Amino acid sequence: MAAASSDIGQPLLTSADGQGPSHDLAPSYNDLSNPQAFDKLNQRLTAPQEVASGPNGSGPSAPPKQTAPEPLTFGRAAKNLFTSTFGFNKIPFSFLFIFTYLLVALVVTPVQVLPPPGDLATDAGYPEKFLLGSWTDLQEISRYFHPYSSHANDIVHDYILNKARDIASHSSITTIHTRDDTRKFLFEEPDVFDPELTGRAVYFEGNNVLVKIQGNDSALGSILISAHYDSVPTAYGTTDDGAGIASMLGILRYYADEKTPPPLRSIIFNFNNDEEFGLLGAQAFFRHPWSNDVEAFLNLEGTGAGGRAVLFRASDYGVAKHYRAASAPHANSIFQQGFTDGYIRSETDYKVYTSNGLRGLDVAFYKPRNLYHTRRDSISGTTYGALSHMFTNALDVVRSMSSAPAGDFNATADDISPAVYFDILGQYIVVLPLDQLFQAQAIGIIAGPIIIVGLLLLVLKTNSWHIGLRGWFRGIISLAISSAAAVATAKWIESKNELVVISQTFSPLLLLFSIFLLTNYFILGFAAYIYPVHDQKLVIFLEIFIVLWGLLVVSTIHISERNATGEYIIPILYIVYLVAVVFGLLGLLFSTTDDLTRTKEEVAEEEESLLNNRYDSYGANESDYDSEAEAEAAAEAAVEATQGVPHSSNAQQHTLADHKTTKEKIQHLASKSLSLDWSIQFLLVVPISAYFVYSSGLLTFEALRENAQEGASRASGVYTELTVVAVVLGALVLPFVHRLHTLVPVVLLGTVIVCGYISLCFPALSYDSPIKIRWIQSIDLDDTAVVNGSVPATVSVLARQGFAYDVLSDLPSIKRDSLPITCRPFGTDDNEVCSYEGPRPYVIDGASKEEAGDYSRWLNVTVLSTHNNVKKKDSVSTEEDFGPFTGSIFIEAKDSRVCSLSFNTTIYKSGDKTASSPVRTVTVFHDSLDDIKEPQPPSNSSLRSSDEDGQTRLPRVTDPDTLKYYKGINDLTVHKLNWTQQGYHLEFVWIPRWFENNSNKDDDKKATSKAIPLQKNENYMATFNSKMDQREKNQQRLINVLDYESDLEEEDPTTGADKKALGIEVRCYWGEYDSESIIGSVPGKETTVRKVPALDEVLEYGPNWVTWTNWAAGLVEVKKYIEL
């Protein structure tokens, strides 16, 4: 057995066989501030040591003669104390970890969660009178529910028009023009949310209020600022979009003020109507000549209920750079990518403006979405500070854009590039072109690995890092296991209390964060104890860098393929990790020569410190020893731990070569891990990265968490986002986590218990965090119950499964009359529709209650005429209808402003993207039913009074609007502003059913049934579309190319469905409920009743954790089916 050396300057304790580290060690001493322990250790270290006999009692195995080491001095003790305090030890790292994360949370959370202050305008230098005026405007606009389909909408329109005229009349310096832009037009547009669904025809009558501030240079393009003044039927529209309207009026006051000089560019204000159901006010703007002068726009919107207005989208860098002028910028291009990728399923007028070639910005309130479109979007639901935030930033940006010189929006090639942007603490904003970010990422993908590999080869060549393959992949394995633990925890919460994310912002996040950190602490701490390596943190830094390099490659591909502007965090993380790795490798290189000049005593100190740190890394207690006996035991253990391994006696040559085994060399080199480079690496990586990850993560979570109520897939998306944020936040300290003080994991474990209980057991819904349920009441005039005297007015609500039934079953009318509630799945995303027969509505006045409730007075559809346009004689000289066919109807909808029509045939139904609609032409006539019944001379003499086939045409009061869309018109929505207008006179041209499917008789369905997928003859359709594009010239040629077979029949012999018939379902909407209808009168008094008692009932008796919103363009719909 080898003799024990009396020298203490030696490597770590090895096992009895000398081949590896011993794990049987007592807790080490690491606190020189304890006098008892210091004295005991000093006495033992300076005492002479006995030398054991060599084999067979032959004496020592040739130990070299050595002198006793110098005793520890105060200077050496102070040096050790400094290393213990600021070295890579538990206490300094744990303190810095806690301090950094608390600081980031305390700095970021108020900006993201708390409402903005009300003094932003005055701080920006604007007199408060402008904001006070806007606040008064907002109060007036929010007085009533004012959807397009309501009389209150006219009140708001008149208020804005009169206010704009009044402001313009007091402008003494700047020329201001106002326009009451009432116009009518018919157009085709794709579905707002599904561009593949084309052929949606809209006839709109709008009444935008336009204002133009004349700029000094009329040759420059104008700046447009836009907001909509209509609300949805169930909301006061304070945030959506009253705040935008009020901000615009405040900006108008600013420019009309005598102290404000005229802008360089003209500024156009579009106070538009009916954004909520089709973005139609923005469409109407492009029918006005002022639209031709616009170069850039700023759209103000609200998709929440208060808070801070965020920069949602920017068309390009050229306009986005003007948002730098905002006094309190709140912006993140993650939202822009959310719109681009279709994750955010709502739209604003920004879509219309950009689709028409304009460049601009989209600024909107974005939370809380569960109050958006409900009656809690009101003055009481917002703040003065929220209006101040939108007004101040909007004015700042408009001033910047309107003062831009010629060519400013196209100053460089980068100006047309998509923009990447984000704010810093709500005070500063970073805006850069996506093209530059793409180039920088491409350089980083190439340069980063070259730098790292070059340094790594140099380090290995100089033997600065004796690493080999030892210890690799521990970071990746730990990251994978801990991420899986976080994902499993998130799935568990989702399965037990899915909607808790609506009410709890921080508990689920802290739970996942703590789970992730604890898992890594145990895995990496255990790995460092069992299998220590030289600089484990650098190993993990390198492994994470490789992961980030892969993510950077993916992000760069996303930029090239779909302009991904929301992944800017990846290159930020990549850069800071690259710098941290470079710093770690350089640190190894610069410390190489130290090993050649250190004395034995210095090496002994490093190795003793490593030994102590090794125990500490897996939970050793660093507190003072409680007694002299405990201090002596620790001292004895420390001395004993340094015995048993021979080393060179030459102090000047104590190098790596003096150690004989590989493990001894690794243990020797591992002492270099105790340098102060860890703190620099920590400060390089953690604070910056934690800020960006937490601020962006909290922003998106606050914006999207209410999406969990819209479906199971939406909820899963919220939990995925939450898990990603927690994992990335925790991964930032992955290289250091094994050095956490024991108390920190204890606190994390307590956090898991508390936050786990909250996430699993706390109620998911409350008054402050309600679930939103969509509501509509429908009357089907074709229901046989109407004929039999019953009046079913079916209420239908849409909600997540498991909520609607419980809410409805507690309504008084349902319990009183024992009304059945039927629920059925809706879609494929865990939603359901529940229906019941509700109290009847009274949306129009009547001389009596019976007359007011007579639904046939609300909606009446009259078929005026049907005929075919082309005839063909068969071989036996009989005529058969060939087509296309023409039919006209008149829709009477009293006190309604909106009706929609959907079409179907035996094989087609509106909305079927696999089929082509047979309707090719729609015409809207501007006359009344009285004009039709009592013909008058047409206003335009060029109009024909009869067709070539001799059929008399209906007289026209004004020129009609006609839309020809030969790909097929799927549906039609018609609007009217005039409340006294009787209704809509419409004409359709459609192709008969046999043309679309010349066979497959057995598959025929009645027009009223669900359509089957179209199985068309491609040759016929290609020929037809080609000919129809030639308009009137195609008719005779169509006859020549079609293979008209004798199987054409008037009706299907099995179903009786008319093959030439066009089915039309008409739905008309009423959007008022917070008022009364007259249902009779006696002298001096009118008898009234609430318009929609069924909605009043759910608002009154529904639980406070539910908010209600409309499910369609109105609250009450009446439908009627006809066939032409």
| pLDDT higher than 50, residue 990 | yes
Average pLDDT over residues 206-219: 96
Contacts of 295 by beta carbon, 8 Å cutoff, 6+ apart: 220, 221, 222, 223, 265, 358, 359, 409
| pLDDT higher than 70, residue 29 | no
154 and 279 in one domain?
yes
In this structure, is residue 187 part of a structural domain?
yes
Task: Indicate the range of 228-237, 432-441, 1015-1024 predicted with least confidence.
Answer: 1015-1024
162-186 pLDDT, tens per residue? Answer: 999 999 999 988 899 999 999 999 9
Tracing tokens 């809690």 back to the chain, one arrives at: 376
Structure-block tokens of residue 119: 């003094």
* Percent of the chain whose pLDDT exceeds 90: 58
In this structure, is residue 1056 part of a structural domain?
yes
Average pLDDT over residues 836-859: 88
- 846 pLDDT tier (thresholds 50, 70, 90): confident
DSSP per-residue letters across 998-1047: SS-GGG---TTSPPPPP---HHHHHHHHHHHTTGGGHHHHHHHHS---TT
The pLDDT, as a whole number, for residue 820 is 94
In this structure, is residue 43 part of a structural domain?
no
| pLDDT higher than 60, residue 14 | no
Based on the residue annotation, tell me whether 275 is a catalytic residue of this protein: yes
| pLDDT higher than 50, residue 451 | yes
Average pLDDT over residues 898-910: 88
**DSSP three-state, residue 572:** helix
- 463 pLDDT tier (thresholds 50, 70, 90): confident
| pLDDT higher than 60, residue 601 | no
Range of the domain at 794: 771-845+1072-1123
In the DSSP assignment, the letter for residue 673 is G
Residues recorded for the chain: 1124
| pLDDT higher than 60, residue 374 | yes
818 and 962 in one domain?
no
| pLDDT higher than 70, residue 339 | yes
Whole-angstrom Cα distance, residue 655 to residue 934?
A: 114
The pLDDT, as a whole number, for residue 411 is 83
1109-1122 pLDDT, tens per residue? Answer: 999 999 999 999 99
The pLDDT, as a whole number, for residue 999 is 38
Q: Which residue has the higher pLDDT, 1017 or 684?
A: 684
Q: Which residue has the higher pLDDT, 94 or 1001?
A: 94
Average pLDDT over residues 123-144: 96
- 479 pLDDT tier (thresholds 50, 70, 90): very high
In this structure, is residue 794 part of a structural domain?
yes
The pLDDT, as a whole number, for residue 920 is 92
The pLDDT, as a whole number, for residue 83 is 58
The pLDDT, as a whole number, for residue 540 is 94
Structure-block tokens of residue 619: 């939970």
Q: Which of 866, 1123, 885, 867 is nearest to 991 (CA)?
A: 885
247-284 pLDDT, tens per residue? Answer: 999 999 999 999 999 999 999 999 999 999 999 999 99
Average pLDDT over residues 319-344: 93
- 245 pLDDT tier (thresholds 50, 70, 90): very high
pLDDT, averaged across the chain:
81
**Catalytic option among 50, 70, 258, 275:** 275
**DSSP three-state, residue 886:** strand
822 and 865 in one domain?
no
Whole-angstrom Cα distance, residue 338 to residue 356?
A: 21
Contacts of 1071 by beta carbon, 8 Å cutoff, 6+ apart: 147, 148, 149, 150, 233, 897, 898, 1110, 1113, 1114, 1115
Last residue of a domain, one of 1046, 1070, 1094: 1070
In this structure, is residue 484 part of a structural domain?
yes
180-212 pLDDT, tens per residue? Answer: 999 999 999 888 777 778 889 999 999 999 999
Measured at the CA of 774, the angle between CA 772 and CA 775, to 5 degrees, comes to 135
This model's pTM is above 0.85: no
Whole-angstrom Cα distance, residue 242 to residue 237?
A: 6
Number of domains in the chain: 4
718 and 856 in one domain?
no
Average pLDDT over residues 360-389: 94
In this structure, is residue 672 part of a structural domain?
no
855 and 732 in one domain?
no
The pLDDT, as a whole number, for residue 532 is 83
The pLDDT, as a whole number, for residue 638 is 38
Residue 179's CATH number = 3.40.630.10
Structure-block tokens of residue 366: 């974005």
Q: Which residue has the higher pLDDT, 634 or 864?
A: 864
| pLDDT higher than 60, residue 1060 | yes
| pLDDT higher than 70, residue 1044 | no
Average pLDDT over residues 618-638: 39
* Percent of the chain whose pLDDT exceeds 70: 74
836 and 875 in one domain?
no
| pLDDT higher than 50, residue 1031 | no
| pLDDT higher than 60, residue 803 | yes
- 80 pLDDT tier (thresholds 50, 70, 90): low
| pLDDT higher than 80, residue 5 | no
- H/E element holding 122? helix 120-123
Whole-angstrom Cα distance, residue 519 to residue 481?
A: 8
Average pLDDT over residues 1056-1071: 82
- 636 pLDDT tier (thresholds 50, 70, 90): very low
Q: How far is CA 43 from the centre of its chain?
A: 66
960 and 936 in one domain?
yes
Q: How far is CA 540 from the centre of its chain?
A: 32
- 82 pLDDT tier (thresholds 50, 70, 90): low
Task: Indicate the range of 472-486, 840-854, 992-1006 predicted with least confidence.
Answer: 992-1006
The pLDDT, as a whole number, for residue 672 is 45
The pLDDT, as a whole number, for residue 799 is 95
In this structure, is residue 50 part of a structural domain?
no
Average pLDDT over residues 363-369: 92
1085 and 942 in one domain?
no
| pLDDT higher than 50, residue 1009 | no
935-987 pLDDT, tens per residue? Answer: 544 444 333 333 444 444 444 456 899 999 988 999 999 999 999 898 999 99
Whole-angstrom Cα distance, residue 622 to residue 81?
A: 13
441 and 421 in one domain?
no
419 and 462 in one domain?
no
The pLDDT, as a whole number, for residue 531 is 83
Whole-angstrom Cα distance, residue 699 to residue 112?
A: 6
The pLDDT, as a whole number, for residue 662 is 54
Burial of 1045 (0-12, 13-18, 19+ CB in 10 A): exposed
783 and 798 in one domain?
yes
- 884 pLDDT tier (thresholds 50, 70, 90): confident
In this structure, is residue 981 part of a structural domain?
yes
The pLDDT, as a whole number, for residue 321 is 96
Last residue of a domain, one of 379, 397, 426: 426
- H/E element holding 301? strand 294-302
815 and 755 in one domain?
no
Average pLDDT over residues 23-34: 40
List beta partners, residue 837.
Answer: 794
Average pLDDT over residues 319-347: 92
